[in-house]
Amino acid sequence: MTTASRLTDGIELVVDALQANDVETIYGVVGIPITDLARAAQAAGIRYIGFRHEGSAGNAAAAAGFLTQRPGVCLTTSGPGFLNGLPALANATTNCFPMVQISGSSQRAIVDLQRGDYQDIDQLNAARPFVKAAYRIARVEDIGRGVARAIRTAISGRPGGVYLDIPGEVLGQTMEESAAAATIWRLVDPAPRQLPAPSAVERALDVLSQAQRPLIVLGKGAAYAQCDSTIREFVEQTGIPFLPMSMAKGLLPDSHPQSAAAARSLAISRADVVLLIGARLNWLLGHGESPQWSPDAQFIQVDIAASEFDSNRPIVAPLTGDIGSVVSALLEALAARPIQPAAAWTEELAERRARNDTKMRERLAENPHPMRFYNALGAIRSVLQDNPDVYVVNEGANALDLARNVIDMQLPRHRLDTGTWGVMGIGMGYSIAAAVETGRPVVAIEGDSAFGFSGMEIETICRYRLPVTVVILNNGGVYRGDEVAAGATGATKASRAEKDPAPTVLNAGARHELLAEAFGGKGYHVSTPAELEKALTEALASNRPTLIDCELDPGAGVESGHLASLNPARAAGSVNPPSGAG
């Protein structure tokens, strides 16, 4: 008499496949058809962090990928849940963060004939334009293969977002446990090294050796690579000034004597040879064009994807390979070809840096009341200088632009912000991921407008008792809170306009700290730098969820931060008057 083999189902196989590939945490929002998948994962020992919105869960998964070099996993429901997660997945792809979004979906036979199934949407094709790759698992026996393929694609080469579609019917399919075990496997070397060609290394050093005013630009790709000591050794051996992009701050300390961060404009405009390490010549670097850059500047670029070269300016010495391997090869070759920037160049940058540092200290010493951005950030800076291991998350317009310059970083991968797309709403997701993945305290420096995109995740922070302190720089508006509503013509329109706030105005009297108190956290409302410094010091010491509402002058701030030039110009008389105007 034959004993029947035990059956297993798609849900158990997804969990087994994730565990086989070292997935320790899932970020998501439960619902049909993936609720039991979240339960099974938790029961098996995978930590499940449940969010209030899929966008924040996706942002957390993306940040986890950046911090760990392993794909962060986001789990969503079908239809609207999938769509809510998609912007974060697209943002991960744009920023080169490894991430996998797993979404349940409706029955293919009904969806493909457009018969109107529950949350009926062709999720696979909807995702494809926004991700590195999109896959659908159609049979229970393909679950292990599909998970392995998604993880390898997300992490190999240039990292990015991958969408994995699993219809609810596949999660419910069963197969014999003995046969199922063979369908699960662990990836071998999912992100293999890619060594640069020796001739490419020689070419790059030839160009660098002829430079009088060389500059190294470190991007977040350099931080992601986690070859910190190799990069530092190369920078220090060459003596070349370096400019960190915002998420590369701390790769070498901002206080390092070769840092050109405080002389950014001069460094960019005067450099004659630029070595890009994990940075791209996109809008964040003015596309490499004048007047920001010298028209005669030559560019050397390190990138794992050769297709990135020549995207804006000619790359005279492309270095294809992973950053660790490329910088190691450059460092080894330096022994036979020492490089030394002109003394006049380093002195010029040092002088500008000293001058700008003096101006910064003067701004930080100002003490207007109500507070403005600089003296609020000065108080935060003072506390963080005593706590360099704190992770900083930063978003907003003025809150982002000014904090980037004011808050120095001493350790790598300790600053996370809006990145390549400049997306608002990443704050709470990134903060939660930083706390979960590192176990360290996190301070989120938020504009009041930016906070509103993901503010309900304060409940998530409190529910999981995470050491996250949110500081809201509250000037009561988008950019600033003192804009007067534009007048309208006609009696009805004028009456309505008198009651409605201007498009950029929020609630200047908002007491955001009460949100934390509502969910069991600690709240502070502060109106002076001394109060802010005291509250932040107490919050970090407590290691508990905290929200500090920092009351600023509604007139503080400028429109679009440093990007006002990207708004279409509206010269007087160049637009038609509103309908009904006389």
Query: Backbone phi, then psi, for 387, in 5-degree steps?
Result: -135, 65
Q: List, in order, residues 6 or more apart from 163 with CB less than 8 Å away.
A: 86, 89, 100, 101, 103, 123, 124, 127, 128, 131, 133, 134, 135
What's the CA gap between 438 and 467, in Å, rounded?
11
Q: Nearest CA to 147 among 11, 18, 27, 36?
A: 18
pLDDT band for 509, please (50, 70, 90 cuts): confident
**Residue 490 confidence (pLDDT):** 61
Return the number of other C-beta atoms located less than 10 Å from residue 572's C-beta: 5
pLDDT value at position 385? 97
Q: Which two tokens stand for residue 315?
A: 């790359």
What confidence score (pLDDT) does residue 581 get?
29
Q: What is the mean pLDDT of residues 137-147?
A: 98
**What confidence category does residue 289 fall into, taking pLDDT thresholds of 50, 70 and 90?**
very high
Report the alpha-carbon distance of residue 98 to residue 155 in Å, rounded: 5
Q: Is the pLDDT of residue 487 over 80?
A: no
Residues contacting 145, CB < 8 A, separation 6+ = 183
Superfamily holding 366-482+497-559: Thiamin diphosphate (ThDP)-binding fold, Pyr/PP domains (3.40.50.970)
The pLDDT mean for the chain works out to 93
CATH 3.40.50.970: which residues of the chain?
Answer: 7-182, 366-482+497-559
Query: What DSSP line would sit under 387-421, residue for residue?
Result: -TTSEEEEESSHHHHHHHHHS---STT-EEE-TTT
Is 571's pLDDT higher than 80?
A: no
CB 55 within 8 Å of CB 83: no
pLDDT of residue 491 exceeding 70 = no
Is the pLDDT assigned to residue 132 strictly greater than 70? yes
Q: What is the 3-state secondary structure (H, E, C) of 223-292?
A: HHCCCHHHHHHHHHHHCCCEEECHHHCCCCCCCCCCECHHHHHHHHHHCCEEEEECCCCCHHHHHHCCCC
pLDDT at residue 323 tops 70: yes
Give the Cα separation of 290 and 485 in Å (integer): 38
Give the residue carrying structure tokens 């440093």: 562
How many Å separate Cα 364 from the centre of its chain? Answer: 27
Per-residue pLDDT, 496 = 64
Tell me the average pLDDT across 469-480. Answer: 94
* Contact between 291 and 269 (Cβ < 8 Å): yes
Cα 229–Cα 234–Cα 236 angle in degrees, nearest 5: 95
Q: Which of 105, 148, 188, 133 is nearest to 13 (CA)?
A: 148
Residues ≥6 apart with Cβ < 8 Å to 351: none
d(C-alpha 416, C-alpha 273), whole Å: 28
Out of 95-109, 167-181, 332-346, 549-563, least confident range: 549-563
pLDDT band at residue 563 under the 50/70/90 scheme:
low
C-alpha separations of 105 from 42, 86, 109, 136, 164 in Å: 21, 14, 12, 10, 10
CATH 3.40.50.970 fits 7-182, yes or no: yes
Structure tokens at 410: 């001493």
pLDDT band at 110 (very low <50, low <70, confident <90, very high): confident
Domain limits, CATH 3.40.50.1220, in the chain: 198-352
Task: Give burial (CB, 10 Å; 0-12/13-18/19+) of 114.
Answer: exposed
562 contacts: CB under 8 Å, gap ≥ 6:
401
Give SS3 for 101.
strand
CATH topology of domain 198-352: Rossmann fold (3.40.50)
How far, in Å, CA of 192 to CA of 104, rounded? 31
Q: Residue 31: which of 74, 73, 76 has the closest Cα?
A: 76
- DSSP conformation letters of 18-31: HHHTT--EEEE---
